[in-house]
Structure 1
Amino acid sequence: MNVLRPLCAALLLFATVPAPAAEAPGTLLVIHGGAGLQREGTSEADEAALRAAITLALRRGHAELAAGKPALDAVTAAITVLEDDPHFNAGKGAVFTHDGRNELDASLMDGATRMAGAVAGVHDVKNPILLAREVMQHSPHVMMAGAGAEAFARERGVEQVDPSYFRTERRWQQLQRALKEDAAGQAHAEPEVAKHFGTVGALALDGEGHLAAGTSTGGMTDKRYGRIGDSPIIGAGTYANDRCAVSGTGWGEFYIRVSAAHEICARMAYLDETPVQAGEAVINREIPALGGDGGAIVLSADGQVAMPFNTEGMARGWIGADGVPHVALYSDEALGLPGEAAPAP
């Protein structure tokens, strides 16, 4: 009897049995409310408001994912909540320019298609992230700025408001202090990173395994000459493809110079780095080496999350398929990430 024949048959049968599919990571939403948060000058009431806003944004975005909606819907829903909250430097809480105006920037990218939309320097658009989505989905362009973007908002029926809507006393007083220092030829007492604090961003992984990223900001206090930072620039402040999504927050000039968001995704693709490794390399080594600072959130298609930052605090949070929000503000707060064991109380 040929003993090899049944052995070969067994091997052939084994070879035809498909390998078990990798378990899907489930839906995820990751949010930041800006690096540069400092305990000094931040009241307990402010901290509670920040935590509540991040939690609400997580819940709103999660509701979209739980309903089977795409990652883009979750990102825009979450960012809209933060744009409507005056505690963040985006939308309602935007900082003032040198000329006493509010100039708003935002961008959005769909990782599955690499479609993107962005707006810069708008003054009367209530939720710039929604206009960025209109640019992406209903125009042949990627970025629009100023009056042209506002005209497009009118055409598309995106809500516009009187510019006075964006005025908050806290931001106005920040500008007044900066103007006095300008007039006296003094260096600004407020740390550079604090001038950028409050930019908001969100990343989502939907039930189809698709990623999306978005970022929204009011820029920097006392900025001049129509300055634009990284937030509305695809590849600098926002980027998403089929395996990686990033939203940044920090000193925009440096994020632009290193194409920070795309650089993180490139390191993951070409060096096979994890989100933690790639985020650490770009945010905590490359940017500081040039003189900048800030933070970012990173999400991979297999559900890995990183939240690198090099300031005292960065408002941040995530929520998985179980619908439980996880929120932290400062660097010394334990915030377990998806797949990690819960931090000890």
Structure 2
Amino acid sequence: MTYSLAIHGGAGTILKSTMTPEKEAAYHAGLRRALDAGEAVLRDGGAALDAVTAAVCALEDEPLFNAGRGAVYTSEGKQEMDAAMMDGRDRRAGAVAGIFGPRNPVRAARAVMERTEHVCLVGPNALAVARDAGLPFEDADYFFTQARWDTLQETLRMREAGEVDDDPARKHGTVGAVARDFRGNLAAATSTGGMTAKAPGRVGDTPVIGAGTYADNATCAVSGTGHGEIFIRWTAGAEIAARMRYASETLEAAARHVVMNDLAPNDGSGGVIAVDAEGNIALPFNCEGMYRGFVRAGETPVTKIYEE
């Protein structure tokens, strides 16, 4: 009897050349808080679904990460958030896209899964489900971060000047968690503010089940972070599970193949976190870094940023 939990706070985010010791310590602390929140559920015998919810909520509450309180801005200076959750027991799933207001978008995604017959809702109806579930809402001041606003202005300036934007920190950022509980059940949850200066209404891979979020007890649970359009086109999460199911690959081999051989050659910068039915964990990425952490029953939690 064991449990496993892995989390991520985005891939290809802050380049090592611009990382300060103070920032690095803050990111590790944020990751550790999320790990602690999720592991507390698993340690007490709780469900994987509850563990990934707790972990992602902690990441959404941390302005350092691009989700919830730290969401980036669209080209029109608005924040539009996506989130999804999937239960490996029966493949139930819930997702929301392009929403603003709920303090924790991942809880809105879970409300869609548990309170409706649908998988994904957008716009006013998604917000109505969140309100009916009694979820807390916040105003624009709560979600505002000066760093995200400044990054938007810099990105817009570069576009107007015709400059090439090759900083991956502007292109993607997501948070997520995957878990296996004592009962052997798997779950995945993902949340994001999207891409800096994205077109209003743009939806990435996070709420697309089988792309950025996937869970099935028979194979694995996956949460992705990276260039969402490519994760969608290569159905990254479902492809990892398919390689395990039909090619009998290990979790590590399947996840690494998809990230390195499918995504990377096709402008699919990013990475995934994944856990299988035995509690094995894989965290491959094809860019400079990925905020990540993991813990297993009886072990010391680990957090990392760069390839170490």
Scaled to the shorter chain, the TM-score interval is over 0.9
Number of the residue aligned with 2:258? 282
Aligned to 1:217: 192
Match of 1:203? Answer: 178
- Aligned length, in residue pairs: 306
Identity of aligned residues (%): 49
- Contact conserved, 2:74 with 2:80, CA < 8 A, in 1? yes
- The reply on whether 1:59 has 2:36 as its aligned counterpart is yes
Corresponding position of 1:42: 19
Q: Once structures 1 and 2 are overlaid, which stretch shifts more, 320-329 or 221-230?
A: 320-329
Q: How does 1:1-345 map to 2 (within 5 A)?
A: 24=1, 26-37=2-13, 38-188=15-165, 190-191=166-167, 193-242=168-217, 243-322=219-298, 324-331=300-307, 333=308
Whether the aligned pair in 2 keeps the contact of 1:59 and 1:323 (CA below 8 Å) is: no
For residues 280 and 213 of structure 2, what CA distance do their matches in structure 1 show?
18
| Letter paired with 1:163 | A
Higher mean alpha-carbon deviation, 50-59 vs 196-205, is at 196-205
Q: Which runs of 4+ in 1 moved over 4 A?
A: none
SS at structure 2 position matched to 1:319: strand
Distance in 1 of aligned mates of 2:299 and 2:115: 32
SS in 2 for 1:40: helix
Instruction: Give the Cα–Cα distance (whole angstroms) in 2 for the partners of residues 173 and 95 of structure 1.
Output: 10
Residue 329 of structure 1: how far off its partner (Å): 0.8
Structure 1: how far apart are the matches of 2:99 and 2:20? Answer: 31
Report Cα offsets for 1:16-68 as digits up to 9, x if no partner: xxxxxxxx4x1111111111031122221111111011111111111101111
Q: Secondary structure at the match of 1:233?
A: coil
Structure 1 position 92, deviation (Å): 0.6
CA contact (8 A) 1:87 1:198 kept: no
* CA offsets 1:120-162 (integer angstroms, 9 cap, x no match): 1011111001111111011111101122211221122111111
**What secondary structure, in the 3-state scheme, does the structure 1 residue paired with 2:27 have?**
helix
Task: Name the Cα RMSD after superposition.
Answer: 1.1
What secondary structure, in the 3-state scheme, does the structure 2 residue paired with 1:287 have?
helix
How far the C-alpha of 1:323 sits from its partner, in A, is 5.2
SS of the residue aligned with 2:183? coil
Q: C-alpha deviations, 1:79-104, integer Å up to 9, x for none?
A: 00000001100011111100001111
Quick one: distance in 1 between partners of 2:68 and 2:17?
24
Q: Distance in 1 between matches of 2:288 and 2:248?
A: 29
CA-CA distance at 1:298 after TM superposition: 1.3
Deviates further, 229-238 or 193-202:
193-202
Contact 2:227 2:267 in 1 (8 A): no
- Higher Rg of the two aligned structures: 1
Q: Which runs of 5+ in 2 are unaligned?
A: none
Q: Is the 8 A contact 1:249 1:294 kept in 2?
A: yes
Q: Secondary structure at the match of 1:92?
A: helix
CA shift, 1:234, in A, is 0.5
**Retained in 1: the 8 A contact 2:4–2:281?**
no
C-alpha separation between the residues in 2 aligned to 1:210 and 1:134?
Answer: 20
Give the letter aligned to residue 51 of structure 2.
A
What CA deviation, in whole Å up to 9, does each residue of 1:103-131 have, x standing for no partner? 11100000011100001101111100111
Deviations 1:241-265 (A, max 9, x none): 0121100000000000010001001
User: 1:3 is matched with which residue?
Assistant: none
SS at match of 2:243: helix
Distance in 1 of aligned mates of 2:107 and 2:214: 17
Deviation at 1:197, TM superposition (A): 4.2
Distance (whole Å) between structure 2 residues aligned to residue 159 and residue 41 of structure 1: 36
